[in-house]
Amino acid sequence: MPWISKNSAGNAVEKRAEPYLTPQMRSHLSQHIVPRYEQKMGALLPCLHEIQHAYGWIPGQAMLEIAEFLAIKPAEVIDTASFYEEYWLKRKGKHLVSVCRSIACEFCGQPGITQAVKDALGIDVGETTDDNEFTLIELECLGSCGSAPAILIDETLHENVKPEQIAGLLDAARKAGAHH
């Protein structure tokens, strides 16, 4: 199938027996969401949202299930899902480390912060550790430019961060347990 070869979808769809789009979700979407749209395609974003809300990301199998549910092509689902940055098409770790890469933070040492996280976790930006504990991303201004560099670990903002603090902050997040 042509859509499987798209980079955004990865090269294979991992399958599990239990559907991601559960009977409860299907019934909720059929009754309350799909009827709002003239065409079923219109309900695609709400369906993607439902999956991401439930699982924290949108697995390939879930996209196939949505395509079947809405009677649209899998390619239409993946194209739409990969177009919007807020949809996660890769598994997200239990903890999300978000490093601000905007100008004030960049000027105040953000590259060293990103590097310290990469070194501590052994992953690149956009990746998740093998133990599924951490995902690292970079994002735009966190509104703490006066206390740059700033990072978010899950929902906790850390300001004036120094590279040597990173390992301790990650440890604390790990000890705090699962976030999702």
How many whole angstroms separate alpha carbon 113 and alpha carbon 138? Answer: 11
Least Å distance between CB 100 and ligand FES?
3
Task: Give, as ranges, the residues between 60 and 119 that touch ligand FES (CB under 6 A).
Answer: 100, 102-105
Least Å distance between CB 147 and ligand FES?
8
Sign of CA dihedral 86, 90, 92, 97: negative
Nearer Cβ to ligand FES (78/142): 142
Q: Strand runs (DSSP E) across 13-106, as ranges?
A: 95-100
Task: Give, as ranges, the residues between 124 and 163 that touch ligand FES (CB under 6 A).
Answer: 141-145, 148, 150
DSSP structure class, residue 73: -
Least Å distance between CB 159 and ligand FES?
8
Per residue in 69-87, is it b (16+ CB within 10 Å) or e — as a string?
bbebebbbbbebbbeeeeb
Least Å distance between CB 151 and ligand FES?
9
State both tokens at 111. 């590259």
Nearer Cβ to ligand FES (64/136): 136
Binding site for ligand FES (CB under 6 A): 100, 102-105, 141-145, 148, 150
